[in-house]
Amino acid sequence: MFARTAAEFAALPARLPSRPKAILAISGHWEAPDFTVSTAERPPMEYDYYGFPEHTYHISYPAPGAPALAARVKDLLSSSGLGVSEDAARGFDHGVFVPLSLMYPQADVPVVMLSLRSGYDAAEHIRAGQALAPLRDEGILIIGSGLTYHNMRGFGRDESTPVAEAFEAYLNRAISQKSAAARNDMLVHWENGPGARLAHPREDHLVPLMVVAGAAGEHTGRALFIDHAMKVPMASYEFGAAAA
């Protein structure tokens, strides 16, 4: 399980035009009353799960933080009229350390995390992404960590497969729109997608996509790959120019 996902994430750095100076990660596992940015120089670990084997509570991903990038993120968001706070204690949750340990196993690229804002307003998260768009020209890789299907009661059930496939197809159409305005409109109105609330009873794992799409500007998105696990598709999307 997840063998293709692991291989695809390991290959991702070679697709990038250049090595990122730092990474800004938006995980579905962190929300706060305001958008909140991590400022720790040495972020700790957040083992935000339970019932897993003992060794999973000893995983370490010792990537450094980037206080200067955190300050830049905070400035961009506040300058756009968005409320933003900072957290010096926040560590890497599994939505961050799992993909990054595959992409950069040496943990040598600085990482800053940005929370979701409670309430999950899709338009507001797109607006946050738009505010952060200048970072892409400053050598910062922006990663949204979530899932195209996240219904804990539906994983592994045969009846979940068509629901997950139909909603992923809607998201794929949305991110593939040539017009950024059309793309963003489809994402704001994601509940119009087939089976939307069955796929996401709570949209914490969907909203990171809104931030990344907002930061993409006029760049058209595309499906990088679609893996399958627990009878549902797990799609990864990318925006911007990738290496040949």
Model pTM? 0.96
Q: Mean per-residue pLDDT for 135-149?
A: 97
CATH superfamily of domain region 3-239: LigB-like (3.40.830.10)
| Per-residue confidence (pLDDT) for residue 137, from 0 to 100 | 95
Which residues, including other chains, have CB under 8 Å from residue 116's CB and lie 6 or more apart?
A: 26, 28, 30, 31, 32, 35, 125, 204, 207, 208
Render 129-166 in DSSP notation, one character per residue. HHHHGGGGGGTEEEEEE--S---TTTTT-TTHHHHHHH
| Per-residue confidence (pLDDT) for residue 89, from 0 to 100 | 97
Mean pLDDT score across all residues of the chain = 96
Judged against a pLDDT cut of 70, whether residue 242 lies above it is answered with no
Q: Where are the domains of the chain?
A: 3-239
Binning pLDDT at 50, 70 and 90, where does residue 64 land? very high
How buried is 119 (Cβ within 10 angstroms: 0-12 exposed, 13-18 middle, 19+ buried)? exposed
CA atoms within 13 A on the CB side of 95: 23
